[in-house]
Structure 1
Amino acid sequence: MFTYFVGIILILAGVLVPADGIVGALRTDEVDPSLLNRLLQGAMLLKASLIALGLFVMAAKRLPFWMPRSETKTPLLSTIPKSELLILAAILLSATALRLYALGGGLWFDEIVTYVKYVQVPFGEAISTYDNQNQHILYSLLANLAFQIFGEGIWSLRLPAVLFGTGSIWALYLLGREVSNSREALLSAALLTFSYHHVWFSQNARGYTGLLFWAILSSWLFLRALREGRPGPWVLYAVSVALGAYTLIYMVFVVLGQCVIFLATLYGERKHEGWPRIWTGLFFGFLLSGILTFLLHSLVLPQFLEAFAHAEVGGPIWTQPLWGILEFVKGMQINFSGSFVAVFAVALFGAGLWNYARTRPEVVGLLVIPAVTCVVLKVLLGHHLWPRSLFFVMGFGALVVVRGIMIFGDLMAGILRRFDLAVTRPILNEGRSNWVGTALCAGLIILSAMSVPFAFGPKQDFLGAMTYVEDRRESGDAVVTVGLATFPYKNLYKTDWEDIETLHALNDVRSRAKRTWLIYTIPIQLQDSFPEIDASVSQEFKVVKQFDGTLNGGTIFVCQEGSPLPDIAAFQ
């Protein structure tokens, strides 16, 4: 009876609430006519999605065909031994402390865009805006909520990333117990806890740790639901998928991997008793996740499609596969404190991947299918190939690396056992040989932890550069920004500095200024998008100060030239 009531309420809301009323409630200020038209289209889609969800809720109890013939009722969160729970608690407390430490460091470009355009605005505007792929909607809404609770600031802006980051470690532990054992689950969680990249992204006011959390959690729920066939886990799976997609659309790649595994299972059990329970997944899992995802995106779907059809490319070099590979290699060197350890980790990764392919191939599918599909699609569409696009598979990678180390540990234990040394005999019997692998994992975790301090500090020190220039700026001086340095100084710090996009504009400023200061960042983008300005800066300016940050290649360069160019017009 309750489901009928809920279904009717949803249908009536979709039918009776006017589209212009929805838009008016969200946007109280004047809206551009073209945007208003897209918002009205989105409101109509929202009404349709409410009706669709209402029909689903009403049909769910009336279709016994979709229900499994038998249910295996086991607690979703099985009992954890006390000793294991204490270790997990220590891991999570350590993870939280590391991610809260120095949380107020300087923002980088993407965080500033999020802050200015999607968080520092009314809630109704944030939930109904998608003009750029920088909009990670669920993250923007949570950051907006954090502002309301804790006040506006860098700390509260990044707080959702911290919570998602710590949550992803907990989710990885659950997934590890499902596909492996408690030992490897705890070791994988610890590896993520003391990972440079995980700490860095957990202090990044973007949706990447949120996507990682939903990717891992949904995969755990997916495997549980697939094994048990009960509607409950499938419904939770659908909710996690929808929220993941609402955080970052890359969630579709995760769902693609899960769908392939689901279809393979469906085909494998077509002649067995498990066949009827598979259909439960289609209805309560994939169909419901589709409806919920459509519901959450419906309001901004017209804007969303336009933004992806005309994706902004900040620099053509960022779309090149070779550049993406080289950046990934640099990241591995930082995370594992050196090239040799990084190469060793890759070798162990290969061993773990091979073992999972033989024992739990679904783990390989959850790792490889989303990653490969994401890269291929980005290459075909000419989108940026930033390594962070694959951050959402990091949890699966940690599981695979730990498995590889445990295999290597067993191999070493077997070799040492042959020597039958008195020192190693007590710890290398058959029941304790996994301690070798555990010790090796601990060593890798320690090496990874050595790189964590490099994650702290300003991601980009825009504020330091601004303070330096303003303290030394004299009367008659001009300050200009170019490329990615323009938006932060113009929209966040509200400086009176001029922004330039052409060499002619730069020369015009120089011709009327006593001295010209020029601020830029990310040299590769300046070279790619403004080659004439880059050449002028290289030949006619000198770098008087550079402000480093933790963002790779994100140094802020403060340049200066002392003699103005002659006024060309005076000679004509």
Structure 2
Amino acid sequence: MIGQGQKDWLWLGAILALAVALRIWGLNAPMWHDEIQTLVTHLNLGWGEMVQSYSMNHHYLHNILAKISMTIFGDDPWAIRLPAMLFGLGTLAVIWVLARGMAGATVAHVTTLLLTLSYHQIWFSQNARGYTGLAFFSVLGMLYFLRGMERPRRGTWIAYGFCLAAAVFTHLTGAFFFMAQGVIWLAVVAIRGPRGRLEGGLIRLPFLGFLVGGLITAAFYLPLLPSLIDTVSNVSGTSATDVMQEYQNPLWTAFEAIRTGIGHAGPLTALVGAAVLILSILGAIALHRDAPLFAPTTFLHIVLTAGLLMAVGMRIWPRFFFVDIAFLMLLIVMGVQLCCALIGHFIGGERVSRVLFILSAIAMTAISAGLAKRNYDFPKQDLAGAYAFTEAERKPETRVFAIGYAGQDFRDHYKADWPILFTNDEYVAALAAPGPVILVVGFPERNFRDVPQLAIDADAFGPTNVCAPDHTAPVLTTLRCFGGTLGDGNVIVFGRD
């Protein structure tokens, strides 16, 4: 006979097998701008050169692992993305352990299955960046934090310190999550201390964990410290001049995170946001007795991250909150379970509650599976397709220009000989000369603002969709629009005869 514990582990194995299949499918799709820049400016360097200067684009621990993968398997996209995929799978396993300990096996299975099908979790697991690594070490850190606060032990808190260091060495914003936990720890000490309910180890051992993590992090970043300070001190200046000022608005961040998950849904986006908020609060209520520190840590991290990024004038990208997806999913499942229990309490008892929760889990799984399909509709950003199409279309007399930052990818990765136009003056000067021209525009929403004459020539803000293949503007004709799942991830190829 197979015991219940063994059945639980078999369920986890089945869920992880599904996760592997969903993440291998499409793992070798073309890379997008940030991945290419990571490859060109970091992974292609020697080992010593990789850690000589700091850049927001370098996720150091992840990049070291990605370089190891490249050394073994080559530089195909799947090999460069392999560490991100493995960290994504590891995150699923750890959240299952965390959820099972707090809420039981059923909630753990449902939460992990929904994360397995999560659009965002799949997307980032196929993204050669450090965000799944950051999520893995944060979820593991949450596991050690809750265990250490409940039963303070030296080994638990030392392991916590290593999670802290690994997360922050992956990306500086990893510090925000552990700062939130530090605030929660100090609040517990302040509340319990005067009441005489504070164990002696609850001061000394957490302090040891934060000290270990801080010292290791400082040792990792010491060679990069001068350039790190310079980069962080200048971030507000670059953000202030960014034409995409909405990137610094936390409301935009929330709506963008939902929009990327469900697609362009109009007013439904706000309804989904409200549902997530309400169910998360209900989930916090449901978990309060067994895990009173879990929800406060999650909510505080979200508020703290948004506040600190606003304080330093930095763009508030949705990906900075990727670590919270697993925690929010657990809260949502708990919120749904509580709703089902309340309904059952009034109309039919425990059996009705159980049936309602099963039906709700099936519905959430079906919706998640439908949304996950969108990951496979397009690459993240089809720069490779745009390059191949343009080279096939160009004639000897045709001049080809790349617009904006994507031009660096065509030049440095695809070895294109296309001049790059960044400003409106450069664009006007380039098109002043007669003759056929092809323009390759990555991040079109940004570039239509950076280069307003391009927007006019492409009729970008007119009634016609510039991605329509038959779109003809007064000056430019849309030759091809290459779709992408990345926000502003389309690549548009325009032509002029």
**Fold match (TM-score > 0.5):** yes
Match of 2:294 in 1: 363
CA deviation profile, 1:452-478 (whole Å, cap 9, x unmatched): 121124111111111111111112110
Match of 1:231 in 2: 154
| AA at the equivalent of 1:329 | I
Q: Provide structure 1 residue ranges, at least 5 long, that are not aligned to the other structure.
A: 1-78, 419-427, 563-572
CA deviation profile, 1:270-313 (whole Å, cap 9, x unmatched): 25464311133244211111111111111112111111112244
CA drift at 1:332: 4.4
Match of 2:490 in 1: 555
Q: 1:80 to 1:298 in 2, by over 3 A?
A: farther
Q: How does 1:227-306 map to 2 (within 5 A)?
A: 227-270=150-193, 271-272=195-196, 274-306=198-230
Q: 1:96 to 1:402 in 2, by over 3 A?
A: same
Residue pair 1:179, 1:363 contacting (<8 A) in 2 also: no
- Number of residue pairs matched by the alignment: 472
Match of 2:248 in 1: 319
Which segment drifts farther, 407-416 or 143-152?
407-416
Residue pair 2:403, 2:421 contacting (<8 A) in 1 also: yes
| AA at the equivalent of 1:469 | T
CA deviation profile, 1:158-179 (whole Å, cap 9, x unmatched): 1011001000011111221333
Residue pair 1:543, 1:558 contacting (<8 A) in 2 also: yes
Match of 1:395 in 2: 326
How far, CA to CA, are the matches of 2:158 and 2:226 in structure 1? 27
Larger radius of gyration: 1
Which segment drifts farther, 290-299 or 408-417?
408-417
Match of 1:434 in 2: 354
Q: 1:536 to 1:382 in 2, by over 3 A?
A: farther
1:88 to 1, 12, 28: 12
Q: Does 1:333 align with 2:258?
A: no
Q: Does 1:466 align with 2:387?
A: yes
Match of 1:163 in 2: 86
| AA at the equivalent of 2:57 | N
CA deviation profile, 1:416-451 (whole Å, cap 9, x unmatched): 417xxxxxxxxx44xx84353233123202211111
Residue pair 1:188, 1:399 contacting (<8 A) in 2 also: yes
1:179 to 57, 78, 102: 102
Q: Does 1:110 align with 2:30?
A: no
CA drift at 1:109: 1.1
Which segment drifts farther, 320-329 or 257-266?
320-329
| AA at the equivalent of 2:379 | P
CA deviation profile, 1:397-419 (whole Å, cap 9, x unmatched): 0110000110112123234417x
Which segment drifts farther, 325-334 or 400-409?
325-334
Q: Does 1:309 align with 2:244?
A: no
Residue pair 1:460, 1:550 contacting (<8 A) in 2 also: yes
CA deviation profile, 1:338-388 (whole Å, cap 9, x unmatched): 756665454423322343456633112221111111112222322112212
Q: Does 1:204 align with 2:127?
A: yes
Match of 2:416 in 1: 495
How far, CA to CA, are the matches of 2:355 and 2:166 in structure 1? 39
Match of 1:349 in 2: 280
Q: 1:380 to 1:528 in 2, by over 3 A?
A: farther
Which segment drifts farther, 179-188 or 460-469?
179-188
Which segment drifts farther, 281-290 or 369-378?
281-290
Residue pair 2:261, 2:371 contacting (<8 A) in 1 also: no
CA deviation profile, 1:10-31 (whole Å, cap 9, x unmatched): xxxxxxxxxxxxxxxxxxxxxx
Q: Does 1:454 align with 2:382?
A: no
How far, CA to CA, are the matches of 1:307 and 1:342 in structure 2? 34
Residue pair 1:327, 1:387 contacting (<8 A) in 2 also: yes
Q: Does 1:386 align with 2:306?
A: no
Residue pair 1:332, 1:342 contacting (<8 A) in 2 also: no
Match of 2:471 in 1: none
CA drift at 1:192: 0.6
CA drift at 1:193: 0.7
CA deviation profile, 1:111-132 (whole Å, cap 9, x unmatched): 11111111122121113331x2
2:477 to 542, 565, 570: 542
Match of 1:50 in 2: none
How far, CA to CA, are the matches of 2:107 and 2:11 in structure 1? 13
CA drift at 1:181: 2.0
Residue pair 1:460, 1:551 contacting (<8 A) in 2 also: yes
TM-score, with length taken from structure 1: 0.78
How far, CA to CA, are the matches of 1:308 and 1:531 in structure 2? 30
CA drift at 1:266: 1.8
Match of 1:36 in 2: none
How far, CA to CA, are the matches of 1:153 and 1:348 in structure 2? 41
Q: 1:336 to 1:526 in 2, by over 3 A?
A: closer
CA drift at 1:108: 1.1
Residue pair 2:424, 2:452 contacting (<8 A) in 1 also: no
Match of 2:425 in 1: 504
CA drift at 1:150: 1.0
How far, CA to CA, are the matches of 2:297 and 2:344 in structure 1? 31
Match of 1:18 in 2: none
Q: 1:379 to 1:467 in 2, by over 3 A?
A: same
Which segment drifts farther, 216-225 or 522-531?
522-531
Match of 1:145 in 2: 68
